[in-house]
């Protein structure tokens, strides 16, 4: 019995000791502050990790919510600019170009020129303009740049604008500024592509005019099949109408404009003497003649207009046809030699260090 009482007292003593020590741990405001700070840092780190995971896995809409949540919970945080950049990348991946540009411009407004964030934001804006074929914006904004990455974007813009010499100069300037074999190796195929583009088999106006001597021939030369078939078919129908048309003229004293009661319908030539019935004036000689001359004029005029119009249009479309041909070529080259291979520049890190 004594042993049981003794054990019970020891248990009570130990419990009281542990309880008192546990209470002492939270008696200090400094200890509470440290514990809370550790917990807050843990939450912040978890939010950063979760947002990064969602972005890397391609869940851009959910990643956006996490980035916005971070900005709301931690205003004016040192990762704010990096969060803006990641938001821009999410919108960019979702093809929401204007929203992406908006956040890249925020970075330019809130960060100093020459910083990693500022440069990366400017590069991404060039990338968006290139994706949307806004070549003039890139060319204008990089006019006096000495940045090799910007000159790469400029070269791509000139190539997309079919400006071969300017594109080659921009690539050469960029290669010189990089001064590294890795980039030279990537730029070198572009010189060959530009040389090929200069010698592209474009259509010639004189040849198009020669082909146009045959109705629809100019369109056939430009490989505008529908226009060529339409012109040939229309011309053929007009020629048939020209050679099968005739007009009927009348010789005699009766006019179709006279009183209908004095007109006798005739279907064949009348060349015999007739009696004059009481009250009707019928000529003794009446004939109807068929003539082709006047009937040919209307379809001939239409055919001539169609012929001249098709000739003019085929020559006029030469420039547009050549542009489409070259655009197809530049599109294939840009797809094969993608701009992303040059986009290895430093970006703001959304990482807690």
Rounded to a whole number, what is the largest CA-CA distance in the chain? 167
The pLDDT value given to residue 50? 95
The pLDDT value given to residue 276? 47
For domain 42-132, the CATH superfamily is Tetratricopeptide repeat domain (1.25.40.10)
CB 83 within 8 A of CB 53: no
Distance CA 270, CA 274 (A): 10
Q: Is the pLDDT of residue 20 over 60?
A: no
The pTM (predicted TM-score) of the whole model is 0.64
Q: Tell me: the pLDDT tens digits for 154-181?
A: 999 999 998 999 999 999 999 999 999 9
Name the β-bridge partners of 247: 291
Q: Tell me: the pLDDT tens digits for 256-276?
A: 444 444 445 544 444 444 444
Q: Is the pLDDT of residue 240 over 50?
A: yes
Which contacts of 18-22 are long-range, i.e. CB under 8 A and separated by 24 or more positions?
A: none
What is the average pLDDT across 211-223? 53
Q: What is the mean pLDDT of the chain?
A: 75
Q: Tell me: the pLDDT tens digits for 112-167?
A: 999 999 999 999 999 999 999 999 999 999 999 999 999 999 999 999 998 999 99
The pLDDT value given to residue 27? 47
Residue linked to tokens 């009250």 = 279
What is the average pLDDT across 300-322? 57
- HSE (side-chain half, CA atoms, 13 Å) at 137: 12
For 50, the token pair is: 């979760």
What is the band of 329 on the pLDDT scale with cuts at 50, 70, 90?
confident
Q: Is 314 exposed, middle or buried (0-12, 13-18, 19+ CB in 10 A)?
A: buried
What is the band of 196 on the pLDDT scale with cuts at 50, 70, 90?
confident
347: CB partners within 8 A, 6+ apart: 85, 116, 117, 120
CB 173 within 8 A of CB 165: no
Structural domain boundaries of the chain? 42-132, 134-199, 203-247+289-346
Distance CA 82, CA 107 (A): 9
Q: Is the pLDDT of residue 340 over 60?
A: yes
What is the average pLDDT across 51-73? 95
More confident residue, 233 or 272: 233
């Amino acid at each position: 019995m004594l042993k049981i009482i003794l054990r019970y007292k020891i248990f009570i003593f130990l419990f009281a000791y542990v309880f008192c020590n546990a209470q002492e741990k939270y008696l200090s405001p400094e200890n509470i502050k440290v514990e809370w700070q550790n917990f807050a840092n843990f939450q912040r780190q978890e939010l950063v990790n979760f947002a990064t995971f969602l972005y890397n896995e391609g869940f851009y809409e959910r990643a956006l919510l996490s980035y916005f949540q971070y900005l709301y919970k931690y205003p004016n945080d040192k990762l704010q600019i990096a969060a803006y950049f990641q938001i821009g990348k999410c919108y960019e991946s979702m093809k929401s170009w204007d929203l992406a540009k908006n956040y890249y411009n925020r970075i330019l407004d809130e960060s100093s020129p020459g910083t990693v964030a500022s440069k990366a934001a400017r590069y991404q804006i060039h990338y968006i303009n290139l994706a949307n074929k806004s070549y003039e914006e890139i060319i204008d904004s990089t006019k006096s740049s000495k940045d090799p990455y910007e000159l790469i974007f400029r070269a791509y813009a000139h190539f997309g604008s079919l400006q071969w010499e300017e594109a080659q100069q921009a690539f050469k300037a960029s290669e010189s500024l990089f001064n590294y074999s890795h980039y030279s190796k990537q730029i070198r195929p572009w010189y060959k592509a530009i040389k090929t583009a200069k010698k592209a088999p474009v259509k010639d106006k004189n040849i198009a005019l020669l082909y146009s001597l045959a109705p629809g021939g100019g369109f056939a030369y430009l490989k505008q099949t529908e226009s060529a078939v339409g012109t040939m078919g229309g011309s053929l129908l007009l020629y048939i109408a020209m050679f099968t048309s005739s007009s009927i003229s009348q010789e005699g004293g009766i006019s179709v404009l006279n009183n209908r009661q004095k007109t006798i319908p005739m279907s064949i030539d009348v060349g015999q003497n007739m009696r004059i019935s009481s009250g009707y004036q019928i000529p003794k000689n009446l004939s109807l003649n068929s003539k082709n001359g006047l009937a040919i004029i209307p379809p001939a005029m239409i055919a001539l207009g169609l012929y001249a119009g098709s000739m003019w249009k085929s020559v006029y479309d030469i420039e547009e046809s050549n542009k489409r041909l070259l655009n197809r070529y530049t599109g294939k080259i840009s797809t094969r030699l993608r701009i992303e291979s040059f986009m290895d520049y430093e970006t703001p890190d959304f990482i807690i260090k």
